[in-house]
Amino acid sequence: MGPVCRLLFLYLLTNAAVGPSWAQYHFQNLMNYLENRMLAMEERIALWHEQSNRYNSELKDFRQQASEIMDRLAKDNQKLKVELEEAGVHVQRVEQEMDYIETQNPPRPCTKAEDKLVEQEATPKDGKTPFDLDSLTGCIDIVSSIRAMKILKRMGHPKGVWTRDTVSAKVYLFSGTEGNAVHEYKRVNDLSSATSSARIFTLPTSWNGTGIAVHNGHIYYVNDGDGTEDGMRILKFNALNGSLADSVMFPLDDRNPVYTLNPETVVDLVADDEGLWAIYGSRDNINLARMDTDSLDTEQMWDTGCPRENAESAFVVCGTLYVVYNTRPPSRSRIQCVYDVNDMVSSGEAPLLYFPRRYGAHASLKYNTKEKQLYAWDDGYQILYKLALKPKLWTKEWEEH
């Protein structure tokens, strides 16, 4: 019993002693009061029911509207996805058409042919070819297009190197950006075959990065030692007899990665028709050095002017460096900077080439002089690119002869 009810009960008992009429009067007042309170509570409960029904109705309408909006958004999202896929197909078709146009109508690789003729003192007097192209240099080709691409297999780490010896048909695979286990295959087809096995041997020390080259039965690779030396150690390993042939310390002002998109590689060793090359980075640019394949001596060095930023890899063909660029969110790889050590072609004179869109960014690109192919490693995939080459110097007068 509440305090108010107790007071009323005591009040009635007190007044009951006074007289029955007085108690009856006050009892009637109490009943009226309680009845009014009950009516007020009923009105309030009815109001709560009305508000609850209204809220439930509004919530139901809101749920219906939200469901319709979500369905509409899902349809719009599906429609947008289809449109994006169609746009991607159109973009890919346009890129293929551009590649075809570039292949059929490549730009002239050199616009300073007259200056080169003066430098060679080869003014024609008898109406014949100004000079013998073969006498100019051992290799005078420039990459004009990417003719074809073939994906052989996917094996190993996302980054690595695979390449063919420049002399023999043997293929070597180096999985990862460090290690000492080498997989040797007798030929390219053995790598893609499920029945063929590789000969596995180990190097005296581990390699670092993806700057590995195989030339004339020797494996050239880079080791950073204990990390405190001023340069990077380049080692020459005889793959035929399994012995270390030579090693040398390659001087570096700093240990900047040569490619910002592949920071594990500080020095990239590549081989072409003219021998062994070392590609390394300075503060902002990429440098190139010619090395003696026997003694590993550095014969000459060049500052190519090609920026390190957004570079993913590079290769050398006939003494010309081709730097491949990409973006941090992987896009289409492209050759955007070219440097020729013989000064026969500049980056502005060389055609801008795009690689077919693949999985990510190339971890390595190794050129084979016999096949005119690039051995590429892209997100664990081993890929071959067939290159089309043409002479660096080519003029209308030569075509007439």
More confident residue, 227 or 323: 323
Categorize the per-residue pLDDT at 121 as very low, low, confident or very high, splitting at 50, 70 and 90.
very low
At 114 the pLDDT is: 38
Q: pLDDT by residue (tens digit) across 252-291?
A: 888 889 999 999 999 999 999 889 999 999 888 999 999 9
Work out the average pLDDT over 219-242: 87
More confident residue, 317 or 31: 317
Give the architecture (CATH level 2) of 113-400. Beta Barrel (2.40)
At 111 the pLDDT is: 34
At 119 the pLDDT is: 38
At 123 the pLDDT is: 39
Q: Give the sign of the dihedral formed by CA 354, CA 357, CA 361, CA 366.
A: negative
At 235 the pLDDT is: 96
17 residue type, one letter? A
At 31 the pLDDT is: 83
What is the chain's mean pLDDT, rounded?
A: 82
At 357 the pLDDT is: 73
At 164 the pLDDT is: 95
Q: pLDDT by residue (tens digit) across 72-85?
A: 999 998 988 888 88
Q: Is the pLDDT of residue 6 over 90?
A: no
This prediction's pTM = 0.67
Q: pLDDT by residue (tens digit) across 151-195?
A: 998 999 999 999 999 888 899 999 999 999 999 999 998 988 867
Q: Is the pLDDT of residue 4 over 60?
A: no
More confident residue, 108 or 390: 390
